[in-house]
Chain A
Amino acid sequence: MTDLTSHETSPLVAIRDLTVSFDGVKVLHGIDLAIHRGEAVGLVGESGCGKSVTWLAALGLLPKKATITGSVILDGRELIGAVPTTLDSVRGGRIAMIFQDPASALNPVIRLGRQVGEALALHGGLSGRAIRAEAKRLFDLVGIPDAVRRLDAFPHELSGGQNQRVMIAMALAGKPDVLVADEPTTALDATIQAQILELLTRIRRETNMALVLISHDLGVISETCDRVCVMYAGRIIETAASEALFEQPLHPYTQGLLAALPPLEGVRRRLVPVEGNVPEPWNLPPGCSFAPRCPRRVEACDTRVPSLALKATDRQAACIMTPPLAQPQRRPEPVYA
């Protein structure tokens, strides 16, 4: 468990009411998210829920046709609408990002050492021999065997898991405060996935870097993160400490996701799927986006979009049919806002 009191200090990254639209279609409907130093936050949701777009928008990586409103504050500095030079120093330097497919993120015709060296020259101000020494140190840190020889290798000479380690080494080159890992293990085999998740957790502990893990896999999130945000149709619909969320999910969608997942142990029972489909962004229902698929839907769900409300200590859910938990761990705190 992370120390919850540390959260009262100001967050490293504060995202406030972030929205993104493409061609007038809103895909992100006001995200509020705070990332504190050293914590591991999971963003989980199905494809199209906005979990990746949130961070692409925050780092100015979306195409020009995207309209972004709201604010992303990093250490008192606004990133939305910031000039390119500011963003250049933030990207890689303060917030680094790695993606699902390492093979397509690496340049196939440049040796790995040079690619990592580029990041080191850019963010670390290193040159010459210092770069190679630092690149080797990073390769050792991320567990690439035979690091010296691997510096001269090309991406195709390494396996997918090793290439993802190279990507992580590159991301660490700028000594970032936050590493955003977008489905970092989805393209990897189960046994390699376990290696990479262990590596990310170890590096986070050793460097006190915050980790934002974006994944569709509830198991991966559960095993890696302290805190989880569940997203649906461009909104965060539930957030809680990892253990609490998976022990007792509050939002009907989170409950549905967990019930739809086949268990690995115990009695086999018929899966309970979430019926229907995720609504298209241009065709959202008027009220709660999940209402058409929700077993607890009442008429009021169709009239108003529910906002994230406190349901227990450190737990929020956006559902009018979810009452506050009967037995809060501490005295109920005053509801903000």
Chain B
Amino acid sequence: MSSAPLLQVRGIARRYAMRRGLLGRSVDVRAVDGVSLTVERGRTLGLVGESGSGKSTTGRLALGLEPPDDGDVLFMGAPIPAAGTLAWRQMRARMQMIYQDPLGALDRRLSILEQVREPYDVHGIGEAGERGAMATALLQAVGLRADQGNRYPHELSGGQRQRAVIARALATKPDLLVCDEPVSALDVSIQAQVVNLLVDLQQELGLGLLFISHDLKVIRQVSHRVAVMYLGRIVEEGDADLLLASPAHPYTEALVSASPVPGRRARPRIVLQGDPPNPAARPSGCAFHPRCHAARERCKVESPRLLPLPDGRLTACHVAHDQANFLKAAS
């Protein structure tokens, strides 16, 4: 067994060409711009950000669903083979993805059991005669009843469907699950069931999770480490509790402050001005500076690098680093 991390993403970038208007010039949009991440076995990395921050694209790049334009992705120390090849298919069996919308991820014309069984057939796992029983066992492992396997997706509730999707993802005994907003479409009471299920499965199976969500509360619940993305770059990364309890980057701070919590009213809330940023018109310097309350002249021209602070987390913010340096010099 190698000591390489389960998933290592190094400086990946992904550009899309976008045309403005019918005859407009095509512009390069950097959806993901130099992102490095590590997911360890049995641990969860939460990836948080707003729409257009590139978090979903990062998830797709991590699975090799799209090739990165720059950088590389290592799975257990080995680069991911080109998509569509036999080697890629074999590796993909060990890394699975769970999407937000379980109804869209399931085939409406197949029963739940048939769909959970399908990976066994595709990857030739087990004897053909045993696969039905194996799939039923999986359904029970995710909290579905055996008789629910005979139902069709529309006959199940949203939470049950997401359980079915998780069961199907587990069929190939993956080491890594990439979950893209897996509970965002579910009601609160059901959301908690699925969150607990994912946490339990991780403990039982030692899964590494890349958990993508816009919901800080859910992210904190499942994650060991958290990375915050803004306009295709990671602006802060570190221990989940540390990062969300005392954010160093003003953007993380604003996200935490904007996250609605029951029973917390009439508190000072940082309300960011301006729109979510447009990846096609990336501001100069620090991309966050037009919305940042702490921005200085330097932030407008010089892009901050993602560097460690004394407490171990990584932050890409001139102001946070200046403060840390000042405190270090003072002591």
Q: Please give the residue numbers on chain A whose beta carbons come within 8 Å of chain B beta carbons, in ascending order.
A: 46-47, 159, 161-162, 189-195, 197-198, 216-223, 242-243, 246-247, 256-258, 260-265, 268, 270-275, 277-278
Contact = CB atoms under 8 A, between A and B. Distances in A.
A278 B244 CA distance: 32
B140 interface: no
A269 B218 CA distance: 12
A29 B244 CA distance: 42
A253 to B, nearest CB: 9
Query: For this complex, into which size category does the number of interface residues on chain B fall?
Result: 35 or more
Contact of B195 (A47, A218, A271): A271
A246 B255 CA distance: 22
Contact of A193 (B192, B217, B245, B258): B258
Contacts of B275: 159, 161-162, 192
Which of A258, A265, A278 gathers the greatest number of chain B CB atoms within 10 Å? A265
A172 to B, nearest CB: 20
B187 A264 contact: no
Interface in B175-230: 187-193, 195-196, 199, 214, 216-218, 220-221
Which of B160, B192, B214, B271 neighbours the largest number of chain A CB atoms within 10 Å of its CB?
Answer: B192
A194 to B, nearest CB: 4
Query: Which interface residue of B157, B244, B271 has the most chain A CB atoms within 10 A?
Result: B271
B260 interface: yes
B254 interface: yes
A260 B196 CA distance: 10
Contacts of B272: 191, 194-195
B241 interface: yes
Contacts of B221: 262, 268, 271
Contact of B188 (A161, A191, A246, A261): A261
A222 B265 contact: yes
Nearest to A269: B221
B196 A218 contact: no
Contacts of A243: 263, 265
B128 interface: no
B256 interface: yes
B265 A194 contact: no
A295 to B, nearest CB: 13
23 contacts: A189-B214, A190-B50, A190-B216, A191-B258, A191-B272, A194-B271, A195-B271, A197-B260, A216-B188, A218-B188, A219-B260, A222-B265, A223-B264, A223-B265, A246-B262, A261-B262, A264-B217, A264-B261, A268-B241, A271-B221, A273-B189, A273-B193, A277-B160
B217 A191 contact: no
Interface of B: 50-51, 157, 159-160, 187-193, 195-196, 199, 214, 216-218, 220-221, 241, 244-245, 254-265, 269, 271-273, 275-276, 291
Given A195-B272, A222-B262, A273-B190, A189 B217 contact: no
Contact of A219 (B214, B254, B259, B271): B259
A274 B188 CA distance: 9
B244 A264 contact: yes
A197 B266 CA distance: 13
B52 to A, nearest CB: 9
Contact of B265 (A242, A260, A273): A242
Q: List the 9 closest pairs (A to B, CB-CB), nearest first.
A: A219-B260, A274-B189, A273-B192, A246-B263, A262-B221, A260-B192, A46-B187, A189-B50, A194-B258
A194 B273 CA distance: 10
Contacts of A217: 260
Nearest to A260: B192
A190 B214 contact: yes
Contacts of B50: 189-192
B264 A222 contact: yes
Contacts of A247: 263
Contacts of B160: 277
Contacts of A195: 271-273
Given A256-B189, A273-B192, A265 B271 contact: no
B260 A222 contact: yes
B187 A222 contact: no
B312 to A, nearest CB: 19
Given A189-B276, A191-B276, A192-B276, 15 more contacts: A189-B214, A190-B216, A190-B259, A191-B50, A191-B271, A191-B291, A216-B187, A216-B188, A219-B261, A261-B262, A263-B220, A271-B221, A272-B192, A273-B189, A278-B187
A154 to B, nearest CB: 12
A263 B256 CA distance: 12
Contact of A222 (B199, B244, B263, B276): B263
A53 to B, nearest CB: 16
Residue of A190, A198, A257, A273 most packed against chain B (CB within 10 A): A190
